[in-house]
Copies of this chain bind each other. A is one copy, B any other.
Amino acid sequence: MQEYQIRTDLALEATESVRKNASEDIRGINIEEYDVLDGVHVTKVEIASKNASKSLRKPMGKYFTLEAPELQEYDDDFHAQISKEIALLLKSILPDNDEEDSVLVVGLGNRDVTADALGPFTVDNLYITRHIIKEYGKDAYHNSKIKQISALIPGVMAKTGMETVEIIKGVISETKPDVIIIIDALAARSVKRLNRTVQITDTGIHPGSGVGNYRQALTDENLGVPVIAIGIPMVVDAGTIVCDALEKVSKEYAGAKESLNFIRNNSNLQLNNMYVTTKNIDETTKRLSFTLSEAINMALEI
């Protein structure tokens, strides 16, 4: 039983206890794990029942996760391989290819806040085709499988005065995409996930998730179109890191448990509005956004 609420956007972290303890079999959770490259691990979690959804506090649906510690390194070849693996996962979670022909990619977040810029930066590098196909047809690309790709960077509410969902709904009503892919920077619970874990889900984006947070859901149900969300953890809440550290030692020392409770209830720590990032986050955001945009370009047959 969980005693307190930990903020994580990763289903992988939410399912950790389940995965660790094979005997603790929860009905309605299907987990498949395998390595795709040396040191690159894929986990496919499907939350298939309401009970499972409730106990994990995550909506029903598929969550694919790729973990690659070396994503932090600056190796172009490795990043290219990872793009390919992400593309495969993305293709397998996209609705059936024949039914959807136009894709709107949305980059959430604030390009002026490094930790929140993954979405806008990813969209900057996408290959956009919709306007060309609208004007000249698919012949322009000599590729009948090519999709109509459009992209949007809606901006954050503090700068637009509008809910993200209002902007996206409006653009959907005018341009009628068949599917939406949303990119967003995530918050993780553990520093070991930072900048090295990619999550792809068909459950969309939910209130309170992401670095910038959202007040209204960006989901199939709310937008009327299938929504795939891709995210990478870029920050950990500073409060979380303290609790995390204490939890680790609480197995060894009784006093840590008390400390933990004290800290959780102690606003004097002034850790609100603080977060933990890697020192090279500016460079990392650029690299990871490029890796994601290449993956999307590949998945959409460009």
Give CA–CA (A279, B280) in the complex, Å.
16
Question: Would you give the 0/1 interface string for A47-61, flagging 1 where the beta carbon is closer than 8 Å to chain B?
Answer: 000000000000000
A131 near B248: Cβ-Cβ < 8 Å? no
Secondary structure of the A contact surface, majority rule: helix
A162 near B175: Cβ-Cβ < 8 Å? yes
From B152, B241, B253, B259, A238 is in contact (CB under 8 Å) with: B241
B270 near A274: Cβ-Cβ < 8 Å? no
B174 near A161: Cβ-Cβ < 8 Å? no
B253 near A130: Cβ-Cβ < 8 Å? no
Q: Does A88 contact B (CB under 8 A)?
A: no
Report copies per complex. Answer: 4
Question: With contacts A245-B269, A274-B279 known, is A167 near B171, CB below 8 A?
Answer: yes
B171 near A128: Cβ-Cβ < 8 Å? no
A: contact size bracket? 35 or more
Task: Return the chain B residue nearest A263 by Cβ.
Answer: B245
A112 near B191: Cβ-Cβ < 8 Å? no
Q: Does A273 contact B (CB under 8 A)?
A: yes
A275 near B273: Cβ-Cβ < 8 Å? no
From B162, B252, B279, A150 is in contact (CB under 8 Å) with: B162
Apart from A131-B157, A152-B155, A249-B258, 18 more pairs, CB < 8 Å: A112-B283, A128-B160, A131-B158, A131-B162, A151-B155, A162-B174, A166-B171, A167-B170, A173-B174, A194-B274, A241-B276, A246-B259, A248-B266, A250-B259, A253-B258, A256-B259, A259-B259, A274-B279
